[in-house]
């Protein structure tokens, strides 16, 4: 069965600091991968998706970026965090009829 790993689980970072969140998937090949963010009390917002190595599509303009250096690795980054970047970041993998989420990273920007 497929497993999604995300780390770290929680993170507190000052404004202006860099960010790197990592997601890895086991048990599947060439998955579609997604980064979502859930702000406090709000719905999930799709940030990036990838259909293959090096293929990244951005859904919303922001100071975040994503990379997919390997088939089952998806990285979310920022050079300088903003207060508004605080939230619950979720990685997901999916096919046409299923989509599963990793455990998430709770980011607080102070």
Tell me whether residue 34 or residue 74 sits nearer to other proteins (CB atom).
34
Q: Is residue 2 close enough to count as binding other proteins by CB under 8 A? A: no
Question: Residue 99: which of 39, 41, 25 has the closest Cα?
Answer: 25
Strand order in the sheet with 3-7: 3-7, 19-26, 73-78, 64-70
Q: Is residue 69 close enough to count as binding other proteins by CB under 8 A? A: no
Q: Is residue 104 close enough to count as binding other proteins by CB under 8 A? A: yes
Phi/psi at 29 (nearest 5 deg)?
-120, 145
Q: Is residue 71 close enough to count as binding other proteins by CB under 8 A? A: no
Q: Is residue 32 close enough to count as binding other proteins by CB under 8 A? A: yes
Q: How far is the CB of 96 from other proteins (least distance, A)?
A: 6
Q: CA-to-CA distance for 7 and 96, rounded, in angstroms?
A: 26
Q: Is residue 60 close enough to count as binding other proteins by CB under 8 A? A: no
Q: CA-to-CA distance for 12 and 50, rounded, in angstroms?
A: 27
Binding site for other proteins (CB under 8 A): 32, 34, 42-46, 49, 51, 57, 59, 90, 94-104, 106
């Amino acid at each position: 069965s497929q497993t999604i790993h995300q780390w770290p689980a929680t993170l507190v970072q000052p404004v202006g600091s860099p960010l790197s969140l990592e997601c890895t998937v086991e048990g599947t090949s060439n998955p579609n991968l997604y980064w979502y963010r859930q702000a406090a009390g709000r719905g999930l917002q799709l940030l990036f998706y990838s259909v293959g190595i090096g293929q990244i599509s951005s859904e919303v303009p922001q100071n975040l970026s994503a990379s997919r250096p390997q088939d089952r690795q998806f990285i979310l980054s920022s050079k300088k965090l903003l207060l508004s970047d605080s939230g619950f970041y979720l990685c997901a993998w999916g096919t046409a009829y299923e989509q599963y989420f990793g455990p998430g990273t709770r980011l607080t920007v102070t």
